[in-house]
Each structure stands twice: as structure tokens, then as C-alpha cells.
Structure 1
Amino acid sequence: MRNGPGITYDISQQIDQGSQYQVLEEKHDWKHIILDNGQSGWIPNWLANDSLANNEEEAKAGTGFIATVLSDQVNVYQDDSTNSQVIGQANDNEKYNILYQSGDMINIQYKDDIGWIPQNQIEITPGVITQAPGRQQTKEEKAATDAFLANYDASVTATAAGVHIRSQASNDSEIIYKGQIHEKFAYLGQEGAYYHVKAQDGTEGYLANWLAESDSTAMEDKAKSLANTSTIKGKTIVLDPGHGGSDPGAIRGDKQEKNVTLKTAQVVKGLLEDYGVNVLMTREDDTFVDLAPRADIYNQAQADAFISLHYDAAEETTVSGTTVYYYDDASIPLSENVQAQLMEKMPLASNGTRFGNFQVIRDSKPPAILIELGYMSNPNDVKAFSQDEYYQKVAQSILNALIINYQE
């Protein structure tokens, strides 16, 4: 519950599912309520009158988020910084589909372009604005595209209008090409959270993975090609399901992070053991294990790798995707291998690899990584990792990364 009608207002308190209240007024898709104990505040309509996990209105709204502009002449920027070029302005009550979030900047579908807008200038609600399907290719154009892609093993398809192809794999590098929704590019590889692509006119650059879908199996094929020379069989891997017992981790409705991480670890363990890997778990059930003993289990076992499994949370419900953290430079190769596999196999966007000063990986000898496999605060992420198929894809991604990591 917040002090005003928007997520930019301070949180006044947290209220439990099922709490009773009276509505005083409504504004900007928020309810001003008063609780039975006399305390008042604002809650969003999409979290009212139902559980977080089973909100019918949320389900009807689709699998995205809408940004509603809160004032006139709000600048829209080319990159995820207010120091970048202004590409246009948005006005009060205009609505745009949200594509991604980077810090305090929101990536939106801005007309026929991609733009960034400060988060404190918008209201965020679940939903999707129906977009025009885009111009259909003529038979001749489709034939030319097919002929171009026939020279490559895989393709990447833009999922938004005006996608930016950049000179480097970063949000602030030069834009060298603008693509159209459903435009196909040749897949050349991956770098961080970007696809390395080639346009039909020969332009090569980098396309953010949250703006595209890949049909590539390059990472899977790489793991398969190296399987016979991998020394993964007989390795000892420690899996660390985050939280447990009295520490539930992040919570969304009736879902608790501790249960999701344990289920994930159990599926990963099963697949690794099928390939001859010795797997140790820092916890096998819903028990509390402090941070230091988790690293001790790994170090004392003299195991070959430590993988801590988590599901993240953020105040903004638009924050999404997977992230792989490392502490020591010697852990970077494993983190990059895992990230590349997740980016190719998982339905959520990849946020890349990052340095993380987390005790469980700081106290563990390398290679040690911590993987955030989605956001408990994002209903679309929760929907994705509520499916059994999600855990299988996580397991296959980790297995493939380990196969590549351990070579003769």
C-alpha cells in the first residue's frame, strides 16, 4: 500500500491477501482505501479483490505492461539515459506498450520506433495495446528473404517495430540500422544480452534479445558437438536452492521463492545425474541453511562448481528476465556459458552476466555462480516458471553449459 496513486509513491505498509477495506476513491487505475484498523493508502486495481496469482483481470489483460504518461511534453530518449538524444515527446494519458526496464528507464514501443522514458513519468498497469500487424512482405520480398537466410544456420525475428541494430552490444552504442516488426535477420551469435545479427542489406550489428526471438539452436548444437570430449562425467557439482525454512525469499501470492528454487534444483539434479554428474545439495527439503554453511558444504567437498539458484524480485512489476552473477574472474567463463544457454532456451529475456557481491559465491572457490531465473514480482515471469517445462529448460541450459565448460 502506497502514499499515493502510483508506484513512484513511497510504500506505507504491506497488507495481506484477503485483507478487507473500503474504497474512498479511484484515480489512475489505483484505489484509495481504508483498512479495518483505520489506516488508509493506495493500492493498484490489478492487485485488488483477488490473489496475486489468480487475478482474472490481470489474465484478461494479456502478458505485458502498459505505460500511461502522467503529464504533458515528457521526453522520450533514444537510449536508456536522459543524457541521450531526445527522439520525441509523450503527453498526458498517452499509452505505450512496455518492452523492457533498465534501472529507472522504461523501454517502450514509441510509434514506429523504440524509445526510453523515465519511470517516474509514467504509471504502469498490466495489459497489451494491440499493434498494427506491420506491412506484409510481397512474394518477391519473401523469396529474397528466404534466399538470404538459406546461407545461415539460424535466424532472429524482430518482435517490435523500429528495433535498433547497434554497432556494439550495449544500449548506448551507435544505431546503425532500424528494423521492422517481424523482420528476419541472420543469426551470427550472441554477446551478452544481445544477438549478433546480419540484415539482408549486409549490415551487421547487435539486437537486444528482449526485442527479438531466435530460432537458433547454436548453443544446443555446440553442447552436443562437445559432449564426446567433455569431462563432465564424474564431476561434483553443488546446487544451492536459495532460502528455505523460516526464510521464504521473495513471495507472490501463494508462491514462495524457497519452494520454487528447491523444485528447480531437484529437476537440475535429476538431469545432471543422468549424465554421470555427482550432485550435492545445500538443502534437500524446506529447511533453513545459513549462508556461510552453504559455501562450506561446497568448499569442504572440494567440488568442481557451485551453482546457487534464485528467483528475483523488484518494486517495479515490469522488471523481468534471467541474470547470472559471478564474484571471481575465474567464474566468468561458466557464468557466460550458462547465460548463453539461458538466452537461447528460456522464454524470458536475458539480462546478461554481472558481478555480484553475494556471500555464497564470494565465500566459495571458483567457479561459483548465482543465477536469478526470473522475477517473483512480475506476473508474466511467474506464469512462465509455473510451468514444468520451464524447469526442464533451466536444467538443460545448466547441463549444456557444464558440458562446454569441462573439456578434455
Structure 2
Amino acid sequence: MRKTVQLLIALVLIVSISMPKLSNAASDDLIVTGKILNLREGPGLSYPILDELKEGDTLSTIEKSGDWIHVKSGNTEGWVASWLTKPLTEKESAETSKIIISQVDHLNVRAEPSLSAAVLAQLFLGNEANYIKSENDWIQIQFGTVTGWVSSQYITIKDRSIENNQSPVASTAKGNLFTVTVDAVNVRKKADLTSKRIGVAYNGEQFTVLDQAKNWVQIQYADKTKGWIYSFYGTFSTNGNTAAPSNGQASDESVTIIYDGTNLREEASTASAIVHLGNVGETYPILSTEGDWYKIALKDGQVAFVANWVVSLNNATQHVSSTQKNSSSRKKGTLRGLTIVIDPGHGGNDHGTTGVRGTDEKDITLKTAELLKSKLRAAGADVVLTRESDVYVDLRKRVAMGHQVEADAFISIHYDATENSSVSGVTTYYMNSYQKQLAEYVHAGLSKKVSIRDRGVQPGNYLVLRENRQEAILIELGFLSNPSEERNITTDYYREQATLGIYQGILNYFDAQL
């Protein structure tokens, strides 16, 4: 018995000596250095994960246990591996007090530092947001309740004024609007993917914002029904841009149907019942706007909705013809006063062609379009993209966007493919005779900047050219089906040279019109 007691005492002493001692540490903040850091229930890899932290997140230290640190992240406490953190330096702490200021209108705030990422919100000229960190050419920001990424090309970074400690006011505040940008998205009872579904919202539908929580937005779904939508599936805007005329009467604007058999519907949704079929040339006064839909008055007194991609917009007070725009005081070497639509081919579930090395056409057309947009805007042009993220946009809607803004040029960007893997080169297509001269100028500029085979200017029966009233061209920037060419045309250098050539060709074309 005595030996047993002595053995137990010895074991207790050994365990107490070998156990790590807990020590209350100073409340110095930490910063996460790993790409991903799991916040766990206890000090060890076997404990359940409470949350997933990302590089750059800051933490408050509570105590330490060996190689593990008890921390507080927001309102959540847990344990993290010390080797994936470091003390927050004065410099890093100072960076958290910086702000960014948007230098352009409609600056996309994206879910990830990538042009193919979903658009969470938009900044307008002069909007401020909290700086979080930088990664290559991207800046992570906090804009109201939205955390996302913006391109560093279009912002300036400043130290926050000591006198002004208020957070920037986001355009995503309560009372503003959320527009669905995917085909359909579930509306849920709570801000959780496992929550009960109370309905479905469709592309173009617009809802009043009631609240936000992390990556969710609460909307007024029906008259007395509130619901939550994952904010990655839409964009925010101010309700001032879409308000109906206050007197309930028709505005000065009207729409003209551009396709025979156009569906005019009961509600602003493609799932709504059809009340009338419109034919090309018919004109209807606009009562109000709801997302991508116009509320219009029919001749028999009925009200209906028509999608904005199957009509052209007429404005009695603000209509300016292309001739009038071009006769303004534009100087050679600039594009001021011109509107140019860039159409990044494919998107969403339409991947376009996929290269032998796995490149999806839809991804590099968007990257190319963004580069071209920055060059054209720098020359003074008003640039419109038919898509700004990885979403599907109907071909007729793309054409209609050019008609609505009365584009001076419509440039569709693509990459080519064929069964013969030896075929290579760059081609510029046009369809109508009034598009040929633009194609020739742009192709001349492009062929001077890229080194791959020149396939010339050719007629091409593509919908975005055939149905386009504007001066429109479609450019195939090389063959993804050719392994060697795919390796070349998917580089940053190639995209830079190609967009420089296209830009120069557009500039030369409009200079020749003066």
C-alpha cells in the first residue's frame, strides 16, 4: 500500500513538472502571418475549429500555453498556433489607420483580388474606405460592412485624420438597393446557407437593403417579408439612381423595341407572365426603372415590364447623336467625348474555349478588357464593359448596352480555337460595311504590337456584329488550341502589348475622323 501511494505521488510530480505553464501575457496585438490560420477550441491540433482566420487579421492576446496562444478575434475567443502569428509592429498598426480614396466612379469592390471575382459593391469618385492590406496590385478595404478588394490603379492611400475618427459612410447603408446579378439566388430566413429558403430572387430584380451581416444582406423581399441573400450574388447602388418619377406620370424617356416578339411582362422578372408581345420599332413611355427592367405604359392603359437589353433608350431632353458628340472640342491624340463599349467574351457558365493547358477563355477576355479600359479612360473616353465579373450576359443584351449608350465603338474581345492545333494568329472581324474601317485601323495597331501570325481583317457573321447598329468589331487574340501560342498569349506581357495596339488603333481611327 505504501509503495502504491509513493508511486502515485511520483506520477503527480512528473505530470506537474511536464505540464506547460499558463502565463498571463500582455495584451499586445498579434497579426496573422499564415495564409490561413484555424482558431481552435483548445491549445492543440486535435481541438475543433471555431473559425478560419486569414493573413493580415489582427488578434488580441489573452494567455499563452506552450506554442499556442489564447486570443480574441472580434467577439470570438479561441487558440491559435503561435508559429503562424507575429507581434503587430508599429508600422503595421499604423497601416490600419489608413484610408483609401476612390479616384473614379463605379470602382468595383471584389470578393477576391482577381478580375474574375464577384463584385460586392462599388465606390464612386471621392468615396473613402478603410485600408486593410495590399497584395500585388490589389488593396483590401473595409467599406461599411463590406470587406473586399479594389485595384490599386484607381485609388489613393492617405493616413486617417486624427481629428476625424469616424468610419467612412458606405453606399451600402440601409435604405439603398441591392440588385441580383446571377440567374437566380435563394432568399433565406436567416443569414446562413443552412437556413430555411423563403423564395428565389432573379437576375435584375432589385430590393431595398434593410441590414447587413458579414457577407449577407437583408432585403425587403415582399410586402411583409424580409429575407437574406448572399451578397456575392449582386451589387449595391443608391436608390436615387433608380427612383420612379414622384408624380407617377411618364418621364421624358421612352424605349423602342429592337426585336420582333419581345416579351412584355407583368413583373420585372423573366419568370413573370407575359402580357403583350412587342415588335421592332414600337415605342413606349417609361414610368420607372427597376434594376435591368423598365416599367412602361402600354397603349391600352396597361402597365408592363421590359428588359433593358431588348430595347433602345430614347430621351427627349438629353438625346445626343454620335455626330454631335464627335463634333465637340476633341483634340487629336485624345478620346474625350467618345463612348466605347468593351465586350469581354463569354462569362459565368459560358467558359468559351478551354486551351490545351487549361486556360478558360472567359477569364483572360476579362483581364484583357480591364487593361484596355484603363488605357481608353486615360485618353478621356467614357468606357462601358458589358460584364465586369465572371457572370453570363446574353449576347443581345451586350448589343443593347451599346445601343443604349450610343457607343462610338463596340470592341468584342475573344481568344480563338480550332481542331487543328497548328493554326495560330490574330484576326479582326467585322460584319457590316460601316464597321470595316474601324476593324482595319484597330487591326493595324494590334499587328504592330504583337509578334504572332497576322491573319488580317475578315468579315464574320457574329451576332454582336450582325445585330449592332454601332461601329462594332470582334477581335480574336490568338489560338488557345495551339499549345505554344497559348503559353504566349496568356502572359501579362502579351495582354499589355495587345491592349496597347488596340488602343492605338482606336485612337488613330478617331483622329482620322477630325
TM-score range, shorter chain: 0.3 to 0.5
Q: Which has the larger radius of gyration?
A: 2
Normalized per residue, which structure has more helix? 1
Tell me the TM-score normalized by structure 1.
Answer: 0.43
Normalized per residue, which structure has more strand? 2
Q: Which has the higher contact order (CA 8 A, sep 6+)?
A: 1
Tell me the TM-score normalized by structure 2.
Answer: 0.35
